[in-house]
Structure formats: C-alpha cells, structure tokens
Amino acid sequence: MKLPHKAHVAIVDGEHFTVMRNSGAPLDPKLEGAEKPDLSPSNFSAGIRHQDQVGQQLGRTDLEELAHGAAAAEWLNAKAIAGDITDVLVIADPKTLGEMRRHYHSELEKRIVGEINKTMTGESVDRIEKVIAAA
C-alpha cells in the first residue's frame, strides 16, 4: 500500500487507540510519534442496533468495545473537520472497524487513504510497517 508521507495511521481495537505518522516514503513507511488520545467512550447505544443475532443471544458483543470504536471514529472526525488530518489509514480489528465505519463523517471519509482489517494493537512498530507495506 502506498501510504502518503506525513499520513496519520490510526491503530484501533475495542480497548486501545494509537495514532502515528508516516515519516517515510509512500512505499517504505516509517511510523513515529505514537500518540494515545484520551477517549471518552460514551456512545453505548451505537452497538446495540448492530449486534448480530448470535452475539445478542450469547452476549458476545461487548458494548464498551463498540463504544470505544465509535469514540475513536468521533476523535478522527473532529480532527478531519478541523483540518488537522489530511490523510489517514485506519487499522482495526474487524468488529471495531465495522463499528467505526458507521460513525465516519463525510470529511473523514474524504481523507481515508485505506483501511486494514486486522488486529495490530500491541504489535511492534516494525511489524505494523511491514503489514502496511504488504497491503
């Protein structure tokens, strides 16, 4: 994947949110400046409508995790609307990414250069860079 120079990379799961920047070339990403924004997950109603039937019956859908994904999307929305983010790559586990997509603002959608549907929180920066380059 070509990741523009200075693009933001949002790495998200149901509990963690890290934002980094690409200081490398588009085909050779080098991530730096890890920032962990303080989120206030308050959108607990979002996930209730979107739970699958099995998740509802077995209690497998954690509303706090879905609210965290919604809060991460809202943080990215605010940055995109303010013009603080011009290009962003979102890396998130499948459930979180699905919830985030439901909350993307049109300004954020214009700035998304890609999405990687994979759990990468807790991985080393080198490993994340390799996954981006291979995508």
User: Where do the domains of the chain lie, and which CATH numbers do they carry?
Assistant: 8-134 (3.30.420)
pTM: 0.85
**Torsion 101-103-109-114 (CA) sign:** negative
Mean pLDDT, the chain, whole residue set: 87
Query: d(Cα 61, Cα 22) in Å, to the nearest integer?
Result: 33
pLDDT tens profile 36-87: 998 876 654 544 455 555 555 545 556 778 888 889 999 999 999 999 999 9
CB atoms within 10 A of CB 78: 15
